[in-house]
Amino acid sequence: MEALLEVKEEKKTITGSEALLKSLLQEKVETIFGYPGGAIMPIYDALYGHEDELVHVLSRHEQGAVHAAQGYARASGKVGVCFATSGPGATNLITGIADAQIDSTPLVCITGQVASHLLGSDAFQEIDIIGISMPVTKWNFQVTSAEEIPYAISRAFYIATSGRPGPVLIDITKDAQQQLMDFEYTRCEKIRSYQPYPKVDVEKVMEAADLINEAKKPLVIVGQGVMLSGAEGEFQDFIQKAGLPVASTLLGLSAVSTKHPLYVGYTGMHGNYGPNIKTNECDVLIAVGMRFDDRVTGDVNTYAKQAKVIHIELDPAEIDKNVQTEVAINADAKEALRFLTPLLLANTHKDWIQEFRDCDALEHEKIKSDALFPAKGELKMPEVIHRISEATKGQSIVVTDVGQHQMVASRYYQFDEIRSNISSGGLGTMGFCLPAALGAKMGSPQRQVIAIIGDGGFQMTVQELGTIMQYNIDVKILILNNNFLGMVRQWQELFFDRRYSFTEMANPDFVALAASYNIAAKKVSERAELNDAIQTWLSAEGPSLLEVVVEKEENVFPMVPTGSSVSDIRLE
Amino acid sequence: MTMEAAKEYTLSVLTEDKPGLLNRLTIIFSRRKINIGSLNVSSTEVKGVSRYTLVATETKEQLDKVVRQIRKLVDVLGAFVYEEDEITYREIALYKISAELLEKNGEIEELIRNSGVKVVETDKNHLFLEKTGTKEETHKLYLELEPYGILEFVRSGRVAISKSTRKTEAFIKELENSRSNKRSIKDF
């Protein structure tokens, strides 16, 4: 069979489907996650026999495909690509697309569509996926003629990856997939109505530098924007030059090593005590590549009111959206920091940073000492994460689902390597973890990938065990099983008078389930067995699953209750 | 955050002439439950560029956020929010009244003569009146005709031109020449 990618592309007549694959190769795509069906069959037919050029991973559900593409993108920094058919195939992508939109993940989703003459007629498996996906995509486009394919794909990749990244959906009618066309490809480099990289306003940078230089109690919050911009190095220079304490948002975790002397912890609803309390005591708050989500700010009306806020953010719509800024630098983090750091005066803020350490000591006494090192009773989530963190030396990619286990992993995994945290932050998508983890492993095959999931979320996309089995994808799956929807249960306990409405779960035998997929698995409920079980699980060849039965009614603390001020963070 | 009062604002959005854009725009309003009071889409003096003119009653703060989200749409060239004194604007209203009124009532004739109303068409039963002006002006005529009976009334979306010195063509040239399509840092 003829190779899809030729060294020199000559103008030639091919089908729309072949043009799509060639376009993807032009964009250096290596891996596609997808699921075939009627309206995308010509594309799948063109794909047949080209596994050496384009790896296609068959998921077990389209939601699995899109979450896998997200995990792939987050772990590799490349674009995640997925295929689905029309109708239900396309609608099944929506949760993942929405998740990618709110968490700024670059995706290109290709959906098949009924033939163009049937559009609007309620044909079999016809759905207006352009209309449906409009609010959750950065851009979308329907291709109804093969000639539009190179244009659509080149724009899709440019838009998905540039500026604040996001998902793009391209819907291709079946007739367009089959039509013949003259193929020619030019990468998109500019769209006049789209200005993804505003130029750094040097005056704003100088104003920001003055504020930082005069600050007695500065606090930096790092978000995922720093990693998306590839600015981890610039960010370190920035905090080190002026001795700025840095807290991380959920998605910002792993942008800075938890071992860094200026790192003061994770901030937000279940974050550390220090950064939350000190947000309302600092005099200058410097937010870099983050968007002041309500899970970070709590009540915005009492959030950092005493502080002058500097916001370095690429997306202009995020500036002054939730928190009013004193100085806004609307620019890519890497560019902005390159301008800003040279203007800073060397400083250490020793006494101020000590205040964070004092907070840590209090949090340790009130929460961590018991959570991490319980002497008796049932196993607790924090001690399990702590031991995994030790066993992996903080070097693994940690993919989490949504709920208590996610907050516990975010609190206690000691990230020491950049781009190691993959979680559904903004959308809070249960079922994200398992497929995202297999995608992450494919995107970053040299690294160990650990999937940390609750018993509830695991069952939302459990079918992806099939994908893991078929492609022998080496993910280490941890189920923290409390036989409850733990976070909802916690809220019911704290805010709904312990009325545990539909949160208790009867679960299957997870070990037997994994075994049926030929995945090595073990269940642990005794503290004495935990270390050995973790070792066996992590050192297994290929995928493996560890189910740890944890205390049923454990709560995650600290906690900033919804609508409360970050100052009112509860330690118990 | 200070709570300012809602007020009528005019939004002007310059876009590429592409299908589906209206939907993208209105989604931004509807997800915040902001009602669009009037809407007009038209071509501009620049080929391939459309202008959407929208009227909404909201706080400036809220509309500024909406405008920033509109600007993010890939095919949007520019979006601006104006107060009434920053624009020149017109709306067209059409009124259908019974032709009998003219025969029976001299007052109507006088009203038509004095209020800058154009009789655009007549048939044996009806009089079709047109009034161009601000919303207040077309509404004033509505109130004046109301006692006599208005059979049908319709008002167009607002069309507005800003009083700023910016020219659409120059604005678009600027976008075309802007180098913010990629990062200036090479080592990514």
**How would you write chain B as a 3-class SS string?**
CCCCCCEEEEEEEEEECCCCHHHHHHHHHHCCCCCEEEEEEEECCCCCEEEEEEEEEECHHHHHHHHHHHHHCCCEEEEEEECHHHEEEEEEEEEEEECHHHHHCHHHHHHHHHCCCEEEEECCCEEEEEEEECHHHHHHHHHHHHHHCCCEEEECCCEEEECCCCCHHHHHHHHHHCCCCCCCCCCC
Mean pLDDT for A274-294 is 97
Kindly report the number of other CB atoms within 10 A of residue A349's CB atom.
Answer: 19
Q: How far apart are CA A355 and CA A216, in angstroms?
A: 13
How is residue A449 written in tokens? 């990938």
Least Cα separation, residue B42 to chain A (angstroms): 18
Enter the DSSP assignment of A6: -
Q: What's the half-sphere exposure (Cβ side, CA atoms, 13 Å) at B5?
A: 2
Cβ <8 Å between B182 and A193: no
**For A478-518, how does the pLDDT look when each residue is reduced to its tens digit (9 = 90+)?**
999 999 999 999 999 999 999 999 999 999 999 999 999 99
Tell me what pLDDT residue B105 has.
73
Tell me what pLDDT residue B113 has.
86
**For B129-149, how does the pLDDT look when each residue is reduced to its tens digit (9 = 90+)?**
999 999 999 999 999 999 999
Model confidence band, residue B188 (pLDDT cutoffs 50, 70, 90): very low
Chain center to CA of A350: 34
Least Cα separation, residue B148 to chain A (angstroms): 45
Query: Which residue does chain A place closest to B27, by CA atoms?
Result: A135
Identify the residue whose tokens are 């893991």: A468
A136: β partners = none
Does position A390 have pLDDT exceeding 60, yes or no? yes
Model confidence band, residue A51 (pLDDT cutoffs 50, 70, 90): confident
- Using alpha carbons, select from A140, A134, A136, A112 the residue that is nearest to residue A124: A112
Chain B residues within 8 A of A159 when measuring between CB atoms: 74
Q: How far apart are CA A530 and CA A535, in angstroms?
A: 9
Chain A residues within 8 A of B18 when measuring between CB atoms: none
Chain A residues within 8 A of B172 when measuring between CB atoms: 192
How is residue A498 written in tokens? 């312990």
Q: Would you list the DSSP string of A147-176?
A: GGHHHHHHHHHHHHHSSS--EEEEEEEHHH
Least Cα separation, residue A190 to chain B (angstroms): 6
Q: Confirm or reject contact between B180 and chain A (CB < 8 A).
A: yes
**For A438-454, how does the pLDDT look when each residue is reduced to its tens digit (9 = 90+)?**
999 999 999 999 999 99
Q: How far apart are CA A192 and CA B74, in angstroms?
A: 9
Tell me what pLDDT residue A4 has.
66
Q: How far apart are CA A147 and CA A150, in angstroms?
A: 7
Does position B112 have pLDDT exceeding 90, yes or no? no
What is the H or E stretch that residue A312 is in? strand A308-313
Does position B164 have pLDDT exceeding 60, yes or no? yes
- Cα–Cα separations (whole angstroms), residue A289 to A107, A164, A313, A553: 19, 10, 5, 36
Residues of A designated catalytic:
62, 124-125, 174, 487
Query: Which residue does chain B place closest to A135, by CA atoms?
Result: B27
ipTM over 0.95: no
Mean pLDDT for B151-176 is 92
Chain B residues within 8 A of A232 when measuring between CB atoms: none
How is residue A232 written in tokens? 């981890």
Contact B114, B107 (CB under 8 A): no
Q: How far apart are CA B148 and CA A190, in angstroms?
A: 59
Contact A398, A389 (CB under 8 A): no
Mean pLDDT for A336-359 is 97
Tell me what pLDDT residue A391 has.
98
Q: How far apart are CA B17 and CA B6, in angstroms?
A: 31
Tell me what pLDDT residue A389 has.
98
Please give the residue that has the higher pLDDT: either A203 or B103: A203
Least Cα separation, residue B169 to chain A (angstroms): 13
Mean pLDDT for A204-214 is 98
Contact A569, A559 (CB under 8 A): yes
Contact A411, A382 (CB under 8 A): yes
Tell me what pLDDT residue A447 has.
98
Nearest to B183 among A192, A300, A332 (CB): A332
Chain A residues within 8 A of B184 when measuring between CB atoms: 197, 199, 335
| Total beta-carbon pairs less than 8 A apart between chain A and chain B | 75
**Single-letter code of the amino acid located at A532:** D
Identify the residue whose tokens are 């019911």: A492
Enter the DSSP assignment of A126: -
Does position A261 have pLDDT exceeding 90, yes or no? yes
Cβ <8 Å between A134 and B31: no
**For A399-442, how does the pLDDT look when each residue is reduced to its tens digit (9 = 90+)?**
999 999 999 999 999 999 999 999 999 999 999 999 999 999 99
Tell me what pLDDT residue A469 has.
98
Task: Please provide residue A34's backbone torsions phi and psi, each rounded to the nearest 5 degrees.
Answer: -170, 180
Contact A484, A553 (CB under 8 A): yes
Model confidence band, residue A6 (pLDDT cutoffs 50, 70, 90): low
Mean pLDDT for A105-131 is 97
Q: How far apart are CA A15 and CA A203, in angstroms?
A: 53
Cβ <8 Å between A159 and B74: yes
Q: How far apart are CA A496 and CA A493, in angstroms?
A: 6
Question: Collapsing DSSP states into helix, strand and coil, what is residue A84?
Answer: strand
Q: Confirm or reject contact between B3 and chain A (CB < 8 A).
A: no
Q: How far apart are CA A43 and CA A337, in angstroms?
A: 44
Please give the residue that has the higher pLDDT: either B180 or A360: A360
pTM: predicted TM-score of the whole model, two decimal places: 0.95
Least Cα separation, residue A196 to chain B (angstroms): 6
**Single-letter code of the amino acid located at A154:** S
- Using alpha carbons, select from A388, A412, A397 the residue that is nearest to residue A451: A397
Query: Which residue does chain A place closest to B172, by CA atoms?
Result: A192
pLDDT over 90 for what percent of chain B?
Answer: 75
Mean pLDDT for A191-203 is 95
Contact A292, A321 (CB under 8 A): yes
Chain B residues within 8 A of A335 when measuring between CB atoms: 183-185
Tell me what pLDDT residue A269 has.
95
Contact A136, A167 (CB under 8 A): yes
**Single-letter code of the amino acid located at B88:** T
Q: Confirm or reject contact between B72 and chain A (CB < 8 A).
A: yes
Please give the residue that has the higher pLDDT: either B37 or B115: B37
Q: How far apart are CA A447 and CA A452, in angstroms?
A: 16
Does position A103 have pLDDT exceeding 60, yes or no? yes
Torsion of CA A496, A497, A502, A504, to 10 degrees: 120
**Single-letter code of the amino acid located at A3:** A
Q: How far apart are CA A168 and CA A81, in angstroms?
A: 10
Does position B127 have pLDDT exceeding 80, yes or no? yes
Tell me what pLDDT residue A572 has.
86
Query: Which residue does chain B place closest to A300, by CA atoms?
Result: B1
Cβ <8 Å between B31 and A192: no
Q: How far apart are CA A134 and CA A167, in angstroms?
A: 11
Does position B1 have pLDDT exceeding 50, yes or no? no
